[in-house]
Structure 1
Amino acid sequence: MSEELNLNEMLKIRREKLAKLQEMGKNPFEVETYNLTHHSIDIKDNFEELEGKEVSIAGRLMSKRVQGKASFVDIQDQDGRIQCYVRKDRIGEEDYDLFVTYDIGDIVGIKGEVFKTKKEEISVKANEVQLLSKSLQTLPEKFHGLKDQDLRYRQRYVDLIVNPEVKKAFFIRNKATKAIKEYLDNRGYLEVDTPILNTIAGGASAKPFITHHNTLDIDMYLRIANELYLKRLIVGGFEKVYEMGRMFRNEGMSIKHNPEYTCIELYEAYADYKDMMEMTENIVAYAAQKALGTTKINYQGTEIDFTPPWNRMSMQEAVKQYAGVDFDEITTDEEAVKVAKEKGLEIKPEMKRGHVINDLFEEYAEQHLIQPTFITHHPVEVSPLAKRNPEDPSITNRFEAFVNTWEIANAFSELNDPIDQRGRFMDQLRQRELGDDEAQMLDEDFLNALEVGLPPTGGLGIGIDRVMMLLTNSSSIRDVLLFPTMKPIVANKSENIE
């Protein structure tokens, strides 16, 4: 209770300081601009050139050591911190007396000369100090010491201020996403935008978010994938397209699942799943090299090597190796379901051989896929948009890429037979009728596009957030999303930041 009273008292004092400044005609919230010439890293990296010269910096006041007529402060900007030396006889008595009342968290601008202290610390000797914005809240001294860890995600703006490593993760993410686009741009791909509001939730097996369009008086869906629109563009004559953007799935949340997430999908005419396999390993390796300077990372104590080529294994081979079931000897749905019962799998309506292979893979094999591995040739029953393998029509020319047991990419030779595609959609509709609300919907316009003619096409989707978790050594997807989805809480204003 005493801590709460102390906090309330500190917040009250900050507001009183603001009121006094406003009475003096020095309202910081009326400041509109500041002539910023350098950032902290610019000064440190170019000290020899800037020594003795005047610079203007701005940032958040993170520490203050007042020693009579002189003070040392640390100013934090987007690149880091720099020390500033403030003397009463340099900035004037009135400004200095105001300066010593500034609080940790206030945003200030400082103009002064670059120098080194006796301890060889690069600093700025202030000639002018200006309060640019008043912080009316208190910053935590040690953010990881919060009782409620979720507060880091709920108040990301505070997390970014007090935890430099958090900001670093997002700089890495920025470099990596730029690198992915650069890789595709350099290979003649066209970046496009497709609708986020859809009248049909298609392109993936997932539960959609449903909203309502008032003017049209129809329900609409936030996209669960952009696949069907991108393939329409290949039909229209574009030969290489990609889109990186948000997808939305109304499903569970975990350390690797967020209801909205970032994915990139790309499609290339006259290419197949093997081309997409090569594309996947090269894209991820290129992003790692650009963002980290290496293709070998340490993720939570495990070394992972993204250097191409990656391991390759068919789903049936993985099931044989890790589940001990050889599907070369199991040819009927009845035999497969019997094996599923013996292995303790959930038996679903109209379960077929392909469903059992997929379920056994997920149950027994995924957990072993630590190093980058391509799992190929998924059963047709779980691949409604992939082209059949001509030598074995029960499987598809598809792959998923796994790293650290996670699926990070999904790709295939795109099904371009409109008759086969209609049959697959109808099978999905039957699954929906049997209660599978993740089964895909029938998209007549997409079928019409296929009838117009889709050339042989390779398609690929990469889960950007999971790749970024690996590159930033983050244990939760929330650590690579600036504003992850959180359940709202009701809290007293004074309890927002402790």
Structure 2
Amino acid sequence: MATLQDYRNERLRKLETLRQLGVDPYPAKSERTHGCGEVLARYDELAGQEVVVAGRIVSIRSFGKLAFIKLRDQSGEVQLYLQRDDVAELDASRGILGMKQLKLLDTGDFVEARGVMTTTQTGEKSVGVHELRLLTKSLRPMPEKLENKEERFRRRYVDMNVNPEVRLRFIRRSKFWRATRDYLNQHGFTEVNVPVLEHTTGGADANPFVTHMDALDNQQFYLRISHELPLKRLIGAGFEKVYDLGPRFRNENYSDEHLPEHIAMEWYAAYWDWRAGMRFMEDMYKYVLQETFGTLQFQLGKFNIDMSGEWEVWDYAEVIRKHYGIDVYDTTIDEVAAKLKEHGLEVEKTDSIPRGIDKLWKNIRKDVAGPVWLVNTPKFISPLSKTNPENPQTVERFQPVIAGSELGNGFSELNDPIDQLNRFVEQQQMRDAGDDEAMMLDIDYVEMLEYGMPPACGWGYSERVFWIFEGVTAREGVPFPQLRHEIDETTRAIYPQVKL
């Protein structure tokens, strides 16, 4: 049975033959005029006209004087119809191949075909080829199937060729972020890119990645875990509607809903409160999902979700009391730990009352279809949010719960510098006691607040929103998920001259 090395060696032989003929197997330019799918979609208009298409060879069938090549690009597939009397002969200086050189082509090669749109005797709309030009000689054959998940993740470029629906997923992912930007831009927001490397990182409960900067005497820096604090500095600087969209990094375990590196967006609006933010985000969700998926009705696993209607609103403390009989404002760590054990939830040494209650809430959340707004979050769970004057034990926070997940986070932002400093100090004490996910004390941010920041609402969501509505896990939802670095034995054998 032929191995990958056998196939590769045969293609290397063909590559050498092409070079000996004087053909450049990797020219820099293509003269394509139309996409493969486009020439079929516009066939009535283009019939009888000359077109130039280009793409990857999917299949080749040769019958002496006749040959048929199926060609694919991002727009679709088209058949190339080659008749010996109509096809130009070898012109190596231009990279043109004749019928005699078809045997030097393989599936996976990229070619360019110049010809007239026609219909074959079997009724298939095709490009009747006059000139066939080599664009790229491939050295490895594409597999017919690729189902092993590890292999798919390691060679996504193969995965997307063999499983075109995977490539379509990332087109939708692009639409998701484009719609996010469009909606914010249409509503007067300004996109400002804030630093990825930070002296002090904050804005979330997460363990950061650590690095160093040689140019600043090898000082320690962190990869940002959130966009929040720099964007709120911009509100203090005079921006009234601002956002950033880009990667953030949280040095924690993989799960079906979390990746250590992922794309996220946060916006902040001066003179808005949390209720204004809720109204804005209900409309924004509808816009973004409609633009991305073309619908607001979704069947996501066990959840049947209609995003077109009005959202329910749930009170955090009431939900916990209803399910567990716990008063979140008057409880002990022992009581919380007992409820965790009772419901089969893990109890860790580093658990505090806030973390324990959060675990209890997540146990409820997993069965919520939504869309639901979770509001009136206890202050001890939200150290960066503004206190609710109607209930000083709670904060003005709003979280969407959809398909068992929290798909975003919004606040009336805390702008009292004394209050903020006190909360930072409390968080830093938790960090010093061994909680690596507690927030760092950011004194520069406190100083910004002392100069004054207007009332503001802030919001953030990550691409987890897309993953949930796309119905895929986190690793399936990104083009190149991080994996353990490995070199397989076949690769080592193919490149013996390279130290791998």
| 8 Å CA contact retained: 1:333, 1:351 | no
CA RMSD of aligned residues (A): 2.0
Distance in 1, Cα, partners of 2:177 & 2:300: 19
- Partner SS for 2:85: helix
Quote the residue 2:51 is aligned against: 55
Letter in 2 for 1:269: A
Distance in 2, Cα, partners of 1:396 & 1:127: 71
Q: Shift of residue 25 of structure 1?
A: 0.8
| 8 Å CA contact retained: 2:373, 2:400 | yes
Map of 1:212-223 to 2, 5 A cutoff? 212-216=212-216, 217-223=218-224
Quote the residue 1:162 is aligned against: 162
- Partner SS for 1:277: helix
Which digits, 9 at most, give the CA deviation of each residue in 1:152-174, with x for residues without a partner? 11111111112110111111111
Distance in 2, Cα, partners of 1:386 & 1:124: 63
Distance 1:300 1:71, change over 3 A: farther
Distance 1:179 1:324, change over 3 A: same
Which digits, 9 at most, give the CA deviation of each residue in 1:420-464, with x for residues without a partner? 000100110111122100000011110011111111100000112
Counterpart among 20, 39, 42 of residue 43 in structure 1: 39
Does 303-312 or 383-392 show the bigger shift? 303-312
Distance 1:207 1:8, change over 3 A: same
Map of 1:190-269 to 2, 5 A cutoff? 190-216=190-216, 217-269=218-270
Counterpart check, 1:121 vs 2:124: yes
How many residues are paired up? Answer: 482
TM-score by length of structure 2 reads: 0.92
Distance in 2, Cα, partners of 1:239 & 1:160: 42
Letter in 1 for 2:206: A
- Partner SS for 2:149: coil
Quote the residue 1:406 is aligned against: 405
Gapped regions of structure 2 (runs ≥ 5): 91-97, 495-500
Quote the residue 1:33 is aligned against: 29
Distance in 1, Cα, partners of 2:74 & 2:329: 61
Distance in 2, Cα, partners of 1:235 & 1:64: 63
| 8 Å CA contact retained: 2:274, 2:411 | yes
| 8 Å CA contact retained: 2:372, 2:401 | yes
Q: Shift of residue 299 of structure 1?
A: 2.4
Map of 1:10-89 to 2, 5 A cutoff? 10-29=7-26, 31-89=27-85
Distance 1:320 1:122, change over 3 A: farther
- Partner SS for 2:468: helix
Q: Shift of residue 494 of structure 1?
A: 4.8
Quote the residue 1:417 is aligned against: 416
Distance in 2, Cα, partners of 1:295 & 1:457: 29
Quote the residue 2:330 is aligned against: 332
Distance in 1, Cα, partners of 2:370 & 2:381: 24
- Partner SS for 2:415: coil
Distance in 2, Cα, partners of 1:316 & 1:287: 31
Distance 1:316 1:422, change over 3 A: same
Distance in 2, Cα, partners of 1:67 & 1:89: 14
- Partner SS for 1:89: coil
Quote the residue 2:371 is aligned against: 372
| 8 Å CA contact retained: 1:55, 1:114 | yes
Letter in 1 for 2:312: N
Q: Shift of residue 302 of structure 1?
A: 3.8
Distance in 1, Cα, partners of 2:391 & 2:156: 51
Quote the residue 1:385 is aligned against: 384
Distance 1:382 1:302, change over 3 A: closer
Quote the residue 1:473 is aligned against: 471
Q: Shift of residue 402 of structure 1?
A: 1.8
Distance in 1, Cα, partners of 2:244 & 2:295: 26
Letter in 1 for 2:282: E
Letter in 2 for 1:24: L
Which digits, 9 at most, give the CA deviation of each residue in 1:457-479, with x for residues without a partner? 00000112x122233332x1122
Which digits, 9 at most, give the CA deviation of each residue in 1:97-147, with x for residues without a partner? 112320000000011111223443321111110110110011101122xxx
Distance 1:493 1:342, change over 3 A: closer
| 8 Å CA contact retained: 1:357, 1:379 | no
Quote the residue 1:446 is aligned against: 445
Distance in 1, Cα, partners of 2:243 & 2:301: 31
Quote the residue 2:114 is aligned against: 111
Which digits, 9 at most, give the CA deviation of each residue in 1:260-288, with x for residues without a partner? 10110000001111122222222221111
Distance in 1, Cα, partners of 2:152 & 2:493: 11
Distance in 2, Cα, partners of 1:331 & 1:285: 35
| 8 Å CA contact retained: 1:176, 1:291 | yes
Which digits, 9 at most, give the CA deviation of each residue in 1:24-60, with x for residues without a partner? 110212x110111000222122111101101101100
Q: Shift of residue 331 of structure 1?
A: 4.7
| 8 Å CA contact retained: 2:36, 2:73 | yes
Distance 1:333 1:350, change over 3 A: farther
Quote the residue 1:179 is aligned against: 179
Letter in 2 for 1:43: V
| 8 Å CA contact retained: 1:61, 1:105 | yes
Q: Shift of residue 215 of structure 1?
A: 2.1
Quote the residue 1:307 is aligned against: 308
Distance in 1, Cα, partners of 2:101 & 2:304: 53
Does 269-278 or 305-314 show the bigger shift? 305-314
Distance 1:482 1:404, change over 3 A: same
Distance in 1, Cα, partners of 2:115 & 2:319: 65
Letter in 2 for 1:417: D
Distance 1:306 1:350, change over 3 A: closer
| 8 Å CA contact retained: 1:268, 1:457 | yes
- Partner SS for 1:402: strand
Counterpart check, 1:362 vs 2:362: yes
Q: Which one has more relative contact order, counting CA pairs under 8 Å at least 6 apart? A: 1
Gapped regions of structure 1 (runs ≥ 5): none
| 8 Å CA contact retained: 2:317, 2:378 | no
Q: Shift of residue 332 of structure 1?
A: 2.9
Distance in 2, Cα, partners of 1:155 & 1:100: 28
Which digits, 9 at most, give the CA deviation of each residue in 1:225-274, with x for residues without a partner? 01000000001111000111000011001222111101100000011111
Letter in 1 for 2:260: P
Quote the residue 1:131 is aligned against: 134
Distance in 2, Cα, partners of 1:433 & 1:50: 71
Letter in 2 for 1:120: G
